[in-house]
Structure 1
Amino acid sequence: MRSIFILSLGALLAGCTSGVPLPGSVPRAQAPSTTTAATPPPQRPAPAPTRPASGFRAPQVMRLPGLERVIGRSAAQLEREFGTAQLDVWEGDARKLQFAGEPCVLDIYLYPMQPGAAPSATHVEARRASDGAAVDRASCVRALSR
C-alpha cells in the first residue's frame, strides 16, 4: 500500500512539469556546441544618452528680474554680497550655498558653465525663515544683501 502511494505521488509530481523550456533556457540535451553558432538573444535598443559623451551638461540659468546680483556670480562674490554662508555643500562639481536671516532663507545653486570651470550661480530658491513657505526670490536677495 505504501509503495502505491509513493508511486502515485511521484506520478503526480511528474505531471506538474510541462517539459517546455523556459524562455532563454537551453535544455541540456540541446546545448549549443562550440562549432555551431547560437542565435543571439534579441537586443534592446540602447537608451538615448542624457549627457554628451564627455559627461558634461551645461546648466540652465535662471533669468528672473531682481536676481542680477546673484546669477553668474562666484561663491566668493556671493559671500561678499551676503556674508558667510551658513551652509556650503558640494555634490560632484555642483555647489549649494545657503544664506539666512530673520526674513528668509536663500539657497543659491552653483554649477560650472563649461567643463573644468569654477561653478557660478545659476539657480536661486527662497523661503520664509519662520515656516518655510516660498517667498519672492528677488525680495529675499534684497533683504539679505549687505
Structure 2
Amino acid sequence: MQHRLLALALLPLLGACAAAVPQPSSVPGPAAPPAGSPSEPPATRPAPPPQAGAFRAPRVMNAPGLEGIIGANAESLERTFGAARLDVREGDARKLQFTGEACVLDVYLYPLRPNAEPTATYVDARRSSDSLDVDRAACVAALRRR
C-alpha cells in the first residue's frame, strides 16, 4: 500500500519533466523577401568541370623497392620484365601488366607534363593463384629474376 501512495505522489513530479509540445502559432511570420532583393544571399553555382583538354599531373608512388620502376617508360619496363601480357591505353594513360608464377604486376603510366611520354607512376601487385594483394617490391623482384 505504501508503494502505491509513493507512486501516486511522484506522478506530478514526472509530469513536470515531460517536454511541452509546441503548438503552431496563429501569428504569421515575416514575409519572404521578393526575389532579387538585397537581403537574399547570392546564388551559388557548382564549379565547372575541368575542360576536356585540361592537364592534371598524376600523383607518383614513392615506395622502397620500386626504384627503377617508378619513373620508367614502357620500353624500359619491357626490357626489365619482358613483353607485357596486357597493354591497355586510355587517352594519354597506359597500363602494362606483367605476369609470372608468383604474381601479377600492374604498372600504370601517366605523363608528368602535358604532351610528355607516359612514365610509371603507380604499381599494384597480386598473387597469380588467388589474386590477393602481395608486396609490390617482392613481386618486382620475383618478376626480374625470370
Residue 76 of structure 2 corresponds to which residue in structure 1? 77
User: Mind listing any 5+ residue stretches in structure 2 that lack a counterpart?
Assistant: 1-35, 37-41
Q: Deviations over 1:70-94 (max 9, x none)?
A: 0000000000000000000001100
Structure exhibiting the larger radius of gyration computed from Cα positions: 2
Deviation at 1:112, TM superposition (A): 0.2
1:96 equivalenced with 2:98 (yes/no) = no
Distance of 2:123 and 2:51 partners within structure 1:
26
Q: How many Å apart are 1:54 and its aligned residue?
A: 5.4
TM-score normalised to structure 1 length? 0.66
Aligned to 2:141: 142
The percent identity for this pair of structures is: 62
Number of residue-to-residue matches in the alignment: 106
After superposition, the CA RMSD in angstroms is 2.3
Deviation at 1:44, TM superposition (A): 5.6
Instruction: Tell me if the contact between 1:98 and 1:108 (Cα under 8 Å) persists in the aligned partners.
Output: yes
Deviations 1:31-83 (A, max 9, x none): xxxxxxxx9xxx96332356479510000000000001200000000000000
In structure 1, C-alpha distance between the alignment counterparts of 2:82 and 2:58, rounded to whole Å: 25
Letter in structure 2 aligned against 1:105: V
**Higher deviation after alignment, 52-61 or 109-118:** 52-61
Corresponding residue number in structure 1 for 2:25: none
- TM-score, length basis structure 2: 0.66
Q: Does 1:129 align with 2:128?
A: yes
The alignment partner of 2:108 has SS state of strand
